[in-house]
Chains A and B, each alone.
Chain A
Amino acid sequence: MTTVTPNEHMLHEVLRTHGPALRRVARAYAGDDGEEEDLYQEILLQLWRALPSFRGDAAPGTWSYRVALNTALAWRRSARRRTARSEQVRLDAVQAGSTPPATRTETAILREFMNALSDVDRTVLVLYMEGLDNDGIADVVGISTGAVAVRVHRMRKKFATTYVER
């Protein structure tokens, strides 16, 4: 009979409560359709591998966001090396931007906005969209709350300039 350790039990709970959020992280960083599932599986693998080093210093939710985002950022670095896909993503974003906003869904606009951001800003935006406050985002990313506030303010302004005022 397999014994479930407390950490494994915690991971089950993390997946039960944060599984959809982890999938959204995968969606935000994946390229074409097939990659989202691959990246999600990679996030699960890294959660499993990181489990022995979980000491409970951070809340399980914070920890799972950290693992997911670190995995997603590593995934993008390696994807960029393989195919220089980032340039294509930015190109897609520019091309998509030429479509009148009224003909696009909110999801498409959000995706387009995210694709045009740097990896760092995208990380902050993902957590912001997840509903974390500035302290929560600062905890996951490892920067000051003030720095998070500045980034969020800049992004909201950029979004307004790009999509609302035109």
Chain B
Amino acid sequence: MWNGNDMKLDSLRDAWRHGDDEAPDASSAAALDAARQRAAALAADVRRRDRRETVVALLLIPVFLLFAFRAPTTLATVGALIVVVSCAFIPLRLRAARQAEPDPGLPVAAALREELERVRAQERLLGSVLVWYVGPLGLGLALYMAGGTESVAFRAGSLLVLAVLYAGIAWLNLHTARHNVRPIARALEQSIRELEGGDDA
């Protein structure tokens, strides 16, 4: 219990350490084994995701190559070929953009700065994803649809659906950057400012 006016921050060190003996702590070997298993499971998840992206791209490439050869117009052929190139390009770019986690063994201030760089890069990626990643794919699909021999109404309807889909993607990216990524960047900037300001005080 609180015991009077002579209490200082230093005297709470015992209270800080109190209760550790009661905490059920697994042996270091068991705890590390659990950590090792979790790390392996996480690495397997990343490998599965990479494989999924590659498989989808590999499946789409022959399909659109076939469409390119059988396309009724030059416009549709060009569109299908753009889709083929985009399908090969997207998984490569996404994998290259996936940045390594900062080293958690860095001093706190350096780790915060690295994390801020990573978050800013993520924000930039979200801003450019429409142009550089799914943009060419959309352009290819639009040309392929526009170059088809179906009725004008059908082609116009397809292009409209595509436009709505891309508007949705753009909004989703903007929303994620604004509501998920930017607040983290702000919190990191504030912590870094606070750390750097300590010297002047």
Contact = CB atoms under 8 A, between A and B. Distances in A.
B20 A20 contact: yes
Interface in B67-120: 101-112, 115
Contacts, number: 163
A2 to B, nearest CB: 10
Residue from A11, A70, A141 with most neighbouring chain B CB atoms (10 Å): A70
**Interface size band for B:** 35 or more
Interface string A55-66: 000100001001
**Interface size band for A:** 35 or more
B13 A131 contact: yes
Q: Chain B interface mostly helix, strand, loop or mixed?
A: helix
B141 to A, nearest CB: 34
Contacts of B184: 77, 81
A147 B54 CA distance: 50
Contacts of A20: 17, 20, 23, 25
Contact of B32 (A12, A110, A146): A12
Interface of B: 1-2, 5-10, 12-20, 23, 25, 28-29, 31-32, 34-36, 38-39, 101-112, 115, 180, 183-184, 187-188, 191, 194-196, 198-199, 201
15 contacts: A11-B32, A19-B25, A20-B23, A20-B25, A45-B39, A81-B180, A81-B184, A107-B19, A110-B12, A128-B9, A139-B107, A143-B195, A144-B199, A147-B198, A147-B199
